[in-house]
């Protein structure tokens, strides 16, 4: 007689036909059938019983079926006990897993409180590595303002304007540099001497005095995820100061031929309340940065269409912008940040004199200053020819301006006479805050005079920049008695 395997095969053939028919078996039914077939094909006792019945050996069949029944019963009881135990264990573990739903927000809250607590601590800054060459000659002065982007990696990308122009002293250069996250070193990516008497279309060693710069994370045209930091110039197209000769904006890697002139006086305001600047004045530049595409965006003067500026070239879009209302609607529909470029020859940033509250360049010794860079209480003080500019590039790859508050307390020296000598200490504190009011860090630097009867350096702008992700930055008192070139990297501890 045919074995059970043959019978099983017939059953399978019929099941396959049913599954492919108009009313196929459900997934659950298929699983049950599969398990049943496995049991049949693997159970030798059951097969022997069926064969015995077919051959009329009833006694043998009864005995064999009894063994099958006892074996199956024992297996089922064992399986039931195991399932009961497993179910109890799962119930216990499930109740513990339910705690994860309440743990996640609690953990986030703890981490948030810890971050806030760290930010509330005033962290002292310590000098690490010289980045300038000290010298008694005034040509070795370094400007204190910066354009800085604080990358979430802890690295900082900085534009340091030149203090002097029409000179060939190394310290007079306009400098573009990268600070390491540990504050141990700087990498100079490019420098240029500044001249009013020389104009280079694609500046290699000389930069025209009448212009501004930025150092930005820009993507390539074909890959928005391929982001690298790039120097961006805004300059004249010829050797002149006239507004009519304003050339526009171009990326260093793409060269001067990629220059785009923004349409004059066509401006929009970003999500932070900061407006673009298209006056065509050489020291007033504000350009839109697209946080989705990681490129600069501007309306071309000649065609009135939007141009996207990447580090490796331009993309001319089909989007025409007729007026400021259309540009504002375009900005409101996206995720944009206005970048305020910094003037090539900005010597000192502006601050308020603590004594009479006049706003003036922070260039005097023994004077206490206070102020901010960013946008606060509806007023923007960023870049151009008066202020530093500070941005962060977040973990979410968004370029955001940050508020940089500072306050300096300095006393004035008294020269030696019959009443003695007074050499005052000085201290500057800096607070970094996001535009939403999140406290990012608080820092302090304290200095003492190097010579009796003299001031400390100019402490108002001494903390040129400080990265809130890593606590690395630049210190520069600008000048102490008979010494210039005091810039060095620093770290917060």
Q: Can you give 388-456 as a three-state secondary structure string? A: CEEEEECCCCCEEEEEEEEEEEECCCEEEECCEEECCCEEEEEEEEECCCCEEEEEEEEECCCCCCCCC
The arrangement of strands across the sheet holding 211-220 comes to: 246-251, 223-236, 211-220, 342-343
* Cα→Cα distances 237→98, 267, 309, 343, 405, Å: 66, 22, 18, 16, 36
Count of beta carbons in the 10 Å neighbourhood of residue 133: 14
> Any residues with CB less than 8 A from the CB of 262 and at least 6 apart, and which?
248, 249, 276, 278, 287, 298, 299, 300, 301
Inter-residue contact 131 to 452 (CB < 8 Å): no
Closest CA to 445 of 410, 398, 399: 410
Portion of the chain with pLDDT greater than 90, in percent: 57
Q: How far apart are CA 293 and CA 380, in angstroms?
A: 25
Sign, CA dihedral 249-389-380-289, equals positive
Q: pLDDT means per 10 residues in the chain (493 residues)?
A: 61 66 64 63 57 54 60 67 72 67 67 64 93 85 94 97 85 91 94 90 90 97 95 93 91 95 97 97 96 98 97 96 97 98 95 92 90 96 96 97 94 69 81 96 88 77 96 90 86 92
Q: How far apart are CA 239 and CA 197, in angstroms?
A: 8
Q: For residue 460, give both structure tokens.
A: 């108002």
Inter-residue contact 185 to 129 (CB < 8 Å): yes
> Quick one: the chain helix, strand, coil %, rounded to 5?
25, 35, 35
The 8-class DSSP code of residue 23 comes to S
Per residue in 64-91, pLDDT (tens digit) is: 656 655 666 666 677 677 767 777 776 6
Q: How far apart are CA 293 and CA 220, in angstroms?
A: 9
Question: Tell me, what's the pLDDT at 20?
Answer: 64
Question: Tell me, what's the pLDDT at 1?
Answer: 47
Question: Tell me, what's the pLDDT at 28?
Answer: 65
Q: Name the β-bridge partners of 149.
A: 157, 391
Q: Is 230 helix (H, G, I), strand (E, B) or coil?
A: strand
């Amino acid at each position: 007689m045919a074995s059970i395997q043959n019978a099983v095969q017939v059953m399978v053939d019929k099941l396959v036909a049913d599954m492919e028919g108009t009313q196929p078996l459900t997934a659950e039914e298929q699983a049950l059938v599969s398990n049943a077939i496995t049991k049949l094909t693997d159970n030798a006792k059951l097969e022997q019983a069926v064969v015995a019945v077919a051959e009329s050996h009833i006694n043998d069949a009864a005995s064999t079926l009894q063994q099958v029944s006892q074996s199956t019963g024992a297996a089922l009881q064992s399986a039931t006990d195991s399932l009961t135990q497993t179910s109890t264990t799962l119930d216990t573990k499930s109740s513990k897993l339910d705690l994860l739903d309440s743990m996640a927000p609690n953990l986030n809250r703890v981490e948030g409180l810890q971050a806030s607590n760290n930010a509330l601590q005033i962290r002292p800054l310590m000098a690490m590595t010289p980045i300038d060459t000290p010298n008694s000659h005034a040509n070795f002065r370094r400007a204190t303002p910066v354009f800085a982007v604080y990358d979430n990696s802890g690295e900082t990308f900085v534009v340091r304007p030149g203090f002097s122009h029409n000179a060939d002293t190394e310290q007079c250069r306009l400098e573009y540099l990268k600070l390491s996250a540990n504050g141990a070193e700087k990498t100079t990516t490019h420098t240029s001497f500044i001249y009013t008497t020389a104009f280079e279309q694609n500046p290699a060693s000389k930069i025209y005095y009448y212009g501004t710069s930025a150092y930005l994370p820009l993507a390539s045209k074909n890959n928005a995820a391929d982001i690298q930091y790039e120097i961006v110039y805004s300059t004249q197209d010829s050797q002149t100061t006239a507004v009519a000769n304003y050339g526009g904006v171009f990326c260093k890697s793409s060269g001067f031929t990629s220059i785009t002139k923004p349409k004059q006086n066509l401006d929009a305001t970003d999500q932070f309340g900061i407006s673009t600047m298209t006056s065509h004045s050489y020291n007033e530049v504000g350009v839109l940065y697209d946080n989705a595409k990681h490129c600069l965006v501007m309306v071309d003067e000649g065609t009135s269409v939007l141009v996207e500026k990447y580090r490796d070239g331009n993309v001319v879009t089909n989007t025409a912008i007729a007026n400021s209302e259309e540009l504002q609607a375009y900005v409101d529909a996206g995720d944009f940040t206005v970048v305020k470029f910094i003037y090539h020859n900005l010597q000192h940033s502006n601050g308020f004199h603590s004594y009479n509250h006049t706003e003036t360049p922070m260039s005097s010794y023994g004077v206490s200053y206070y102020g901010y860079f960013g946008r606060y209480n509806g007023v923007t003080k960023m870049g151009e020819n008066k202020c530093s500019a500070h941005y962060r590039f977040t973990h979410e790859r968004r370029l955001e301006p940050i508020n940089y508050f500072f306050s300096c307390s300095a006393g004035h020296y008294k020269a030696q006479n019959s009443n003695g000598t007074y050499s005052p200490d000085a201290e500057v504190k800096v607070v970094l805050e996001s535009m939403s009011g999140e406290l990012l860090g608080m820092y302090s630097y304290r200095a003492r005079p190097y010579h009796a009867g003299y001031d400390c350096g100019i402490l108002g702008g001494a903390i040129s920049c400080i990265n809130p992700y890593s606590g690395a930055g630049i210190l520069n008192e600008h000048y102490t008695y008979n010494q210039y070139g005091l810039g060095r990297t620093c770290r917060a501890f």
